[in-house]
Chain A
Amino acid sequence: MAVVDRIEHLEELWLERPGGLGWLTTVDHKRIGILYFWTTIVFFAAGGTEALLMRTQLAQPDQTVVSPETYDQLMTMHGVTMIFFFIIPMTTGAFGNYLVPLMIGARDMAFPRLNALSYWIFLGSGIFMYSSFLVGQAPNAGWFDYVPLALRQYDGGLNIDFYALGLIFSGVASTAGALNLIVTIFKLRAPGMSWNRMPLFCFALLAASLSLIFALPALTVDCVFLELQRKLGFHFFDVAHGGDPLLWQHLFWIFGHPEVYIIVLPAFGIATSIIPTFARRRMVAFPLVAMAELLVAFIGFGVWAHHMFATGLTTTTLVFFAAASMMVVVPSTIQIYAWLMTVNLGTPDFRAPLMFIGGFIIFFVLGGLSGIMFAAVPFDQATTDTYFVVAHFHFIIFGAAVFPLLGGIYYWFPKVTGRMYDEQLARWSFWLTFVGTSLTFFPMHIVGLLGMTRRVYTYRHGLGWDAYNLVETIGGFILAAGLLLIAFNIVRSLRSGEPAGRDPFYGGTLEWTIPSPPPHYNFAVIPTVSSPYPNWDEPDREEDLRRLAQGELVLDGGHETPATTVNDAELAEILDMPPESPWPIVLSLVVTIAAFFLLTEHYVTAAFFLSLAVLALAGWHAAEPDTLPVRTARSKGWWGAVVFVATEATLFGTIVGTYIYLRLQNAHWPPPNVPKPPVLTPTLLTAALVLTSIPMYIASRAAGEGRRATAWRAITVAFVVQLAYLIWQVHDFVHTVHVYDPQQSAWASVFVTLLGADHLHVLAGVLFSAWFVLRIRSRLTRYRIVGLQGTAFYWHAVNVITAVVLVVQLSTRL
């Protein structure tokens, strides 16, 4: 078959429906990336407007531009918007989605429909959160929403409920997106792209995604506790009933600190893409830089209490966090010197993208230096909660996360649109933005040292703060002008920019080997890879042309992309990818509606819409891909189940950790007036459930070997026992809640929540089992086999978790 015919055939295979409807049902990672891009830009503008309103109010002392209530909503929503609805979805959803498959030589993400779902859920959660402004009750207790201030007693309106439900909701989108990125990076790398040949951008996104998986559950659990306390009178955070207000802070920051690395890691990834391209040489100390990205994420999980140094913790507790906070700096210093050595060893071309990286390096170093100061406990205790810390984190978030983003927008604009941006205008936009950023945030260091605390809607004259505040406000408007200039450059260049061609910058990674904009199928032939800079490996690119002509790994038999082994990227199987689908947007719509009903305490209606969501999931999985030849490596579906289990296990670990944390603080646990949970019945029930792992294992093995009848019988046996267990437990749960009464003690609140969470996970497992009882009855396809094996893995995890819950229950007898 002639090459031009193959390419035409690929075009046909990967084409989606035209027009607006096509955008609603798209599963193409590039289109989803573009959807994320423009949506997050809108949120960026909202967050920026909130900031400018605050700065206007603070330009002079004792002003009344906005009321205290309005200011509190602005400052809260500014933080919430920028973090949850701008920077994370922009870096992971827009840049990550668009670029990762291209950089690893794949034709799409591992789970294209899940990808679409994460976008629509993100949009739904953003609309949910912002609808709070429509009723004048936007969240108002700060983006970290400390209790007791956030409890109903002190904040009785819907504000905090919008916050908690909105974050749980948006967390679903982020988790789905992270899962997708991890499995894609693990399984969909082009043959030959072993770990040591994967581009640094992908390492950065991998580190950020792994962090999201392990950090989000802490926030979710915290928000669930908050809503249970606010809406149903549970006790987690009040001392009188055995709770602890600091529990909120611990859980929040266990999420919150990794979150800031999640924010900055993709920016590092962008920087480490731009630097080699414009320095025209590969990154110095590549293995160390790649490891530094993973290390900073990992060590970052151990520093959380440095946000709590002033809360009265003991020195022996603080030391763990102070030591880790010092060492977490080192991966960043490695990277900074690696970048600078690369620039020095190379012949850098300081066009706009590299200028933004230069600005990034300056701001990152400044923000990092003030960060090191905060690792010194007494200094932190002096300057935390002042404008000094506001300066620190804005230098990092704006300087070190947004600047690479802006550079990245210019850098990949030609690839995404096929047109060049205006270089001269881009340089002006850099200087304007750089000056604006410096003027806005640098004086904050000084005014913080002079005693100005944060989150104040006004301040007194005569404390030496006035001039700095005015300068910051002026800087803010200059910064806004710089950003508008960038936007103008982009929009204008979209229409009338020069044609860019395939590779205007001679970049090293695979996206520069394909046309601009990329065709729907990305690669006509799956590329040959021998290094992290494939576009610089001429022999490999010639090999590609030869293989295209021969039809080797062109994969035009269907909607296909290869899956490889995790460590060494050896070809494992050919995947048939799903075409466009309406289910993601339908599912998201239904879940968004459910969220509104939860907010307004219409629990039955919310449950109804959530069951519609379950039906949508069934519809989603009714269509199956073709069965293609398989090798023996673990499938992407199995890895998806592993990542999903990892995040759910972390969720349970958080609840159990809470149980232990509160137990340490209470002399009587459970409290004396509460009866102890029984021993015999729960043990027998749990044993019965755990034993279903045996038929689940048998079903999984049999299915893998093609023995349909055995597999069906085994899963049916497991399902029957699981269903019986569930019915018994749900019936018992009502009684449990009544007897232990979470409204009376923190012990009961945590215990009931733990049980409830377990039962919900069993319910999900029962639904999965039911689905396969129905599906395996008729036929055994590859899709059903993988699904069953994933379900079996899920069930093994749920059984372990249920056993742990039993242990917690029995420990009350000790």
Chain B
Amino acid sequence: MTRSRLELLQWFALFAGPLAWATEHVVGYGISDASCRVAGAQWGLDATVLQIVLAVLTAIVVIAAWLAAFVAFRETRSVDDYTPGPLGRIRFFAQAALLGNVLFFVIVVLDGVSTVHDLPCHQA
């Protein structure tokens, strides 16, 4: 694998997951808020469908990011913790992304399942 492809994989692995979750989080909250307020009535939003689509798309990106991390981790298996950059640094961030993307995945799954389960616009 070329160095530049490995670099790309590593940065994708590190940033795609968090950015995808952050987007899903803000947009999802926005959809929920909009659909239960005046705007929802005005714009005729079907929040549940939108939320499920959002969650699924986000989960796909996070899985892709995790896979990218896994590939980067495998490609740097000859390297140890303190090898200098770029290889040492790539392995370091690959491990970080292997962990991080698991957490983002769980959050998104919980979000999606809850959206299906919860009554819309019910005061908690």
A and B touch in the complex (CB under 8 A): yes
**With a CB–CB cut-off of 8 A, which chain A residues contact B124?**
309, 312-315, 318, 377, 381
- Given A319-B118, A324-B25, A327-B107, A314-B96 contact (CB < 8 Å): no
Closest A residue, CB atoms, query B29: A320
B residues bordering A, Cβ < 8 Å? Answer: 18, 21-22, 25, 28-30, 32-40, 42, 47, 51, 81-86, 88-89, 91-93, 95-96, 99-100, 103, 106-107, 110-111, 114-115, 118-124
In-complex Cβ contact of B93 among A195, A316, A319, A667 (8 A): A195
Query: Contacts A194-B84, A665-B39: A317 and B89 contacting too (C-beta < 8 A)?
Result: no
- Known contacts A377-B124, A665-B38; is-contact A320 B28 (Cβ 8 Å): yes
State the majority secondary structure of interface residues on A. Answer: helix
Given contacts A309-B124, A315-B119, A319-B111, contact A531 B86 (CB under 8 A): no
Contact with B along A268-293 (1 / 0, CB 8 A): 00000000000000000011101110
Query: Interface centre among A294, A299, A665, by most B CB within 10 Å?
Result: A299
The complex places the Cα of A531 from the Cα of B121 at a distance, in Å, of: 53
Cα separation A791 to B83 with both chains bound (whole Å): 37
Residues in chain A near residue B121, CB distance under 8 A? 314, 316
Closest chain B residue, CB of each to CB of A197: B82
Given contacts A315-B122, A324-B25, A327-B103, A196 and B42 within 8 Å (CB-CB): no
Task: List the B residue with the shortest CB-CB distance to A285.
Answer: B95
> A-B pairs with the 4 shortest C-beta distances?
A568-B85, A194-B85, A291-B96, A196-B92
B40, B92, B99, B110: the one contacting A195 at CB < 8 Å is: B92
Contacting residues, chain A, for B21 (C-beta < 8 A): 302
Could you say which residues of chain B place their CB within 8 Å of the CB of A294? 96
Give bound CA distance, A665 to B36, whole Å.
9
CB distance from A217 to the nearest CB of B (A): 15
Question: Knowing that A196-B83, A298-B18, A299-B107 are A-B contacts, what are 11 other residue pairs whose CB atoms are under 8 Å apart, sorted by A's residue number?
Answer: A195-B89, A195-B92, A286-B81, A287-B81, A295-B99, A302-B25, A314-B32, A314-B121, A324-B107, A664-B39, A665-B38
Q: Which residue of B lies closest to A568 (CB)?
A: B85
Known contacts A320-B29, A327-B107, A665-B38, A530 near B120 by CB under 8 Å: no
The closest CB in chain A to the CB of B84 belongs to A194
B38 near A291: Cβ-Cβ < 8 Å: no
Verify B107–A316 contact, CB threshold 8 A.
Answer: no
CA distance A530 to B80 in the complex (A): 12
- Using A569-B85, A663-B39 as known contacts, say yes or no to A320 and B111 having CB atoms under 8 A apart: yes
Report Cα–Cα, A313/B121, bound state, in Å. 9
Say whether A196 contacts B89, CB under 8 Å: yes
CA distance A546 to B34 in the complex (A): 67
Complex CA distance for A291 and B121, rounded to whole angstroms: 37
Contact A288 B39 (CB under 8 A): no
**Majority SS at the chain B contact face:** helix
Chain B residues in 8 Å Cβ range of A324: 25, 107
A666: interface (CB < 8 Å): yes
| Contact between A316 and B47, CB atoms less than 8 A apart | yes
Cβ-defined contact, B85 with A319, below 8 A: no
Residues of B within 8 A of A334 (CB): 99
Distance between Cα atoms of A4 and B42 in the complex (Å) = 79
Interface centre among B35, B89, B91, B115 (most CB of A within 10 A): B89
Q: A196-B81, A196-B92, A287-B95 are in contact. Are A316 and B36 (CB under 8 A)?
A: yes
A652-B94 Cα distance, complex, nearest whole Å: 33
Q: Which of A132-166 contact B (CB under 8 A)?
A: none
Residue of A nearest to B51 (CB): A316
Contact of B103 among A196, A309, A330, A569 (CB under 8 A): A330
Q: Which chain B residue shows the least CB distance to A298?
A: B18
- Write 22 A-B pairs (CB below 8 A) sorted by A numbering: A197-B82, A287-B95, A288-B99, A290-B92, A291-B96, A294-B96, A295-B99, A302-B21, A313-B123, A314-B123, A315-B123, A317-B29, A317-B33, A317-B36, A319-B110, A320-B29, A320-B32, A321-B29, A326-B110, A531-B82, A567-B89, A664-B30
Contacts of B95 in A (CB 8 A): 287-288, 291
Q: Are A315 and B118 in contact, with the CB atoms below 8 A?
A: yes
Chain B residues whose C-beta falls within 8 Å of the C-beta of A323 in the assembled complex: 106-107, 110-111, 114
Interface residues of A in 624-677 (CB under 8 A from B): 660-661, 663-667
* A301 interface residue per 8 A CB criterion: yes
**Given A288-B99, A567-B85 in contact, is the A664-B34 Cβ separation under 8 Å?**
yes
Let me know if B84 and A295 touch, CB within 8 A. no
The residue on A at minimum CB distance from B21 is A302
- Chain B residues in 8 Å Cβ range of A663: 39
Tell me, rounded to whole Å, the shortest Cβ–Cβ distance linking A400 to chain B: 21
Q: Which residues of A contact B51 (CB under 8 A)?
A: 316
Query: Which of B18, B33, B103, B115 has the most chain A CB atoms inside 10 A of its CB?
Result: B103
Also in contact, A316 and B118, with CB within 8 A (given A196-B89, A291-B100, A299-B103): yes
